[in-house]
Amino acid sequence: MDEFKERFIQLLHYPNITWENVYKILKRDPMLQSISKLAVNPLLSYQSSDSKVTSANSSHPELIHEQIRQYPANDISVITIFDKEYPQSLKEIYQPPWALYARGDIALLASEPKLAVVGSRQATQYGKNAIRLLFPELIQHDILIVSGLAKGIDALAHEETIKLGGRTIAVIAGGIYHIYPKENIPLALTMTKHQLVLSEYPPDTKPLRWHFPARNRIISGLSAGTFIIEAKRKSGSLITANFAVHEGREVFSLPGSIFNPCSGGTNELIQQGAKLITSAKDIIEELKYEPKVRQT
């Protein structure tokens, strides 16, 4: 790891550092010469009236440095926005993550096309059946599935992809050491072996409420399109769809019964212009992907 990358990652570990803080510091000090593992509280000179940076750990930067040194032993890679492995599609979104903390096969970041699949935490049998119906053809055409490792549709999307021998990426809220919900820890551990788990937060970060909507911009940002399978009218999945729209990506929606609350949000998306999906081909053709069928 070169000195700049080490200083940059160290900067991202300071408590309560914001995206804006990092941007301002890079603007004033592009090579981060002021950041040193021996420095005491190096961020104080950059604080502004709107900054929430605190000095909880900044008087012990050597502890941060030691934490970072342990990542390779724990199979954690740190991919910064300045690294060649950082996905170009993610650089195009609003406030792209400064770094991705990754455990698993980072080569998956370069795989195309990617499809975000998200939906209700209270998945119904209809949503489960839709995944089982649509995924075999999507996986057969080498489409990589991106989701959020949440309960319900997200977990089902990861599990079905793995079952079919496909590739999948999970983008989580909080850090890799704090998988949420706990019931998905076994799934996360499986994915760290042959798939990929990502976070924009240092591994020891506990998930906070605002981390969940924030990570949705990464799920949609990594992907050429976002497919919503079951969502209530005020579902968090609609936040992902909204990010996709603003990022100029495709939005796909599974239609459902007017009597099913979990289809209220998906039906509304279709009214607003999302593509109604009844088959895997509806997605494949819209991704402008020339199918290359996997040999089985």
Run means of pLDDT, 10 residues per run, the chain, 296 residues: 90 90 94 68 48 42 85 97 97 97 98 96 96 98 97 98 98 97 97 97 95 96 97 90 94 96 96 97 82 50
What pLDDT does residue 15 have?
Answer: 82
What pLDDT does residue 50 have?
Answer: 40
The token pair at 245 is 């729209």
Evaluate whether 78 touches 86 at the Cβ level (below 8 Å): no
The token pair at 167 is 């590739």
Evaluate whether 197 touches 188 at the Cβ level (below 8 Å): yes
pLDDT tens, residue by residue, 141-186: 999 999 999 999 999 999 999 999 999 999 999 999 999 999 999 9
Q: What is the pTM of this model?
A: 0.90
What pLDDT does residue 186 have?
Answer: 98
Rounded CA separation 80/32 (Å): 14
Rounded CA separation 145/116 (Å): 6
What pLDDT does residue 36 have?
Answer: 67
Evaluate whether 145 touches 157 at the Cβ level (below 8 Å): yes
What pLDDT does residue 49 have?
Answer: 38
Task: Work out the number of other CB atoms within 10 angstroms of the CB of residue 66.
Answer: 11
